[in-house]
Amino acid sequence: MVGDSVAAGGGRRAGRFVPAVVLARWALWRLPRRGHVCYLVAIDAVAVVAVVLAAVRYPPLAAMLPPFALLLGGMLVSAELARSVERHREDTLLGPGVDTPWIFAGVLVLRPGLAAALIVVSALHQWFRVRRRPVYRQVFGAAATALACLVAGAFRTATGAGPLSTVLDTRTVALLAAAGAVFLAVNAALVTAADGPRRPREALPGLAFDAAMTASALPLAWAAEAAPALVPLLAGATVVLHRGGLGRGRRDHVTLDPGTGVLTAASWRGAAEAELDRLGRHGPGPAVLLLDLDHFRRLNDRYGVRIGDAVLRAVADTLRDEVRAADLVGRSGGEEFAVLLPGTGRFDAMAIAERIRLRVASTLVALKASGDGPQFVGVTVSIGVADCPDGLLEDALLAAEAALLRAKAAGRNRTICAEPES
């Protein structure tokens, strides 16, 4: 597993296609469980094949282009207005978040190819404008949404729900609501199979948020067909509800470090304590990583604070890319980071830490062109690893800090694991 990161740092071979290089460096291949990797790849492949077949079998109609443009434009505007909330919203089973009403409305009024286009645009907007998760997670989220949309669309067709351009009777509304329930159920099943079940107490607020977003798609779909002038009003109401914290889906209880986008030290500690309380003694004990950038002050003095801040952001981005969505990443000091890895044993934690160390060592930040001077600058990290079998965060942090000091004393740019207590 550790050797994967060495290959990722090498240069691109001549004659290889860029997509092949990108796929070869995908963090997906470095996940510890091969069954998990196979499942994610299978869902992605099935989604692509299913969307292509559905688009060929039911090609878009010219009459659908105006409602498609209306839904696409409304989705992008709503997403921009809700961007500040979406950045700090806790993950729910439906990845699109505030885009869900527009996507499910597309399922109800468009052919599969155009509905899939809304999903792709939503995923790209989230990547470039909201928050960047590991690419394989972003792709899987879009694939799960696409499959849920196809199944919900097939359900609606099979039940014979009437066209939305007419007056909606009770039967049609009930069938559309049932299609929404199918959409939620399929998406939830796919995501749960990938991430494991959540406790009901934790899952209910997210499910309520997802259900509310899906329900708001019904009047939006009807307006797109029968009363386009109502679409902006419905969109505005959805954004206001969303920004108000509908379904308790926001991370109002945490604070992000403005320089790096990861949790602040206080927020990380609070979130880590809450996670340890939630886990109790069930399953493998969590592990803690403490990372310190080697000779960072020397880099800051030589190249300036602006370059130092860029290096910190690059390291934070690397940490987010290399860990799972459930892991907690925080900035514990000026050039120090902390990571909590729930359900991760000592061996896997060491493999993850080594992967992070190698990835950081291969990460470069561009400098201004300056004649014969360097064009890029990088940094290395020393990492201390400790497990937390008894759920005591303070003891784990002390052990990880001691391991980190040993790593720095041994020459830096290395990973050392704390010895287990006898």
Q: Which domain holds residue 114?
A: 31-248
Q: What is the pLDDT of residue 37?
A: 85
- Say if residue 294's pLDDT is above 70: yes
Q: What is the pLDDT of residue 277?
A: 74
CATH number, residue 293: 3.30.70.270
Over the stretch 147-181, which tens digit does the pLDDT of each residue have?
999 999 999 999 987 667 666 788 888 999 999 99
Residue 9 lies in a domain: no
Q: Could you say which of 185, 217, 248 is where a domain stops? A: 248
Residue in 206, 417, 194 with CA at minimum distance from that of residue 324: 194
Residue 259 lies in a domain: no
Q: Under 8 Å CB-to-CB from 32, ≥6 apart: which residues?
A: 1, 348, 351
Residue 360 lies in a domain: yes
Q: How many domains does the chain have?
A: 2
Q: What is the pTM for the complete model shown?
A: 0.60
Over the stretch 87-110, which tens digit does the pLDDT of each residue have?
656 566 677 778 899 999 999 999
Number of other CB atoms surrounding residue 332 within 10 Å: 21
Residue 296 lies in a domain: yes
Vertex 319: Cα angle to 316 and 324 (nearest 5): 135
Question: Which of 115-119, 307-311, 326-330 has the largest mean confidence?
Answer: 115-119
Residue 382, beta-bridge partner list:
292
On whether both 244 and 270 belong to a single domain, the answer is: no
On whether both 348 and 199 belong to a single domain, the answer is: no
- Higher pLDDT: 18 or 232? It is 232
Vertex 115: Cα angle to 109 and 121 (nearest 5): 135
On whether both 398 and 319 belong to a single domain, the answer is: yes
Residue 170 lies in a domain: yes
CA atoms within 13 A on the CB side of 31: 20
Task: Quote the CA–CA distance of 135 and 216 in Å, as a whole number.
Answer: 29
Over the stretch 108-162, which tens digit does the pLDDT of each residue have?
999 999 999 999 999 998 888 776 666 788 899 999 999 999 999 999 999 987 6
41-45 mean pLDDT: 94
On whether both 334 and 413 belong to a single domain, the answer is: yes
On whether both 282 and 223 belong to a single domain, the answer is: no
Residue in 387, 419, 397, 421 with CA at minimum distance from that of residue 286: 387
Q: Could you say which of 214, 248, 282 is where a domain stops? A: 248
335-to-19, 266, 285, 392 alpha-carbon distances in Å: 34, 16, 27, 24
Spell out the alpha helix ranges (H) of 160-199.
Answer: 170-195
Q: Compute φ and ψ for 288, nearest 5 degrees.
A: -125, 135
On whether both 149 and 283 belong to a single domain, the answer is: no
Residue in 129, 105, 107, 124 with CA at minimum distance from that of residue 116: 107
Task: Quote the CA–CA distance of 237 and 235 in Å, as a whole number.
Answer: 5
Q: Could you say which of 248, 275, 304 is where a domain stops? A: 248
Over the stretch 221-278, which tens digit does the pLDDT of each residue have?
999 888 889 888 888 877 776 665 543 444 444 578 888 888 888 888 888 887 887 7
- Say if residue 292's pLDDT is above 90: yes
Residue 16 lies in a domain: no
Residue 153 lies in a domain: yes
Q: What is the pLDDT of residue 345?
A: 83
On whether both 275 and 134 belong to a single domain, the answer is: no
- Say if residue 353's pLDDT is above 80: yes
Residue 253 lies in a domain: no
Q: What is the pLDDT of residue 169?
A: 81
Hey, what are 120's tokens?
Answer: 């792709």
On whether both 232 and 286 belong to a single domain, the answer is: no
On whether both 237 and 270 belong to a single domain, the answer is: no
Task: Quote the CA–CA distance of 316 and 331 in Å, as a whole number.
Answer: 8
On whether both 51 and 121 belong to a single domain, the answer is: yes
- Higher pLDDT: 391 or 362? It is 362
On whether both 201 and 300 belong to a single domain, the answer is: no
Residue in 343, 357, 348 with CA at minimum distance from that of residue 413: 357
Q: What is the DSSP letter of 291?
A: E
On whether both 281 and 194 belong to a single domain, the answer is: no
Number of other CB atoms surrounding residue 41 within 10 Å: 17
352-366 mean pLDDT: 91
Number of other CB atoms surrounding residue 342 within 10 Å: 19
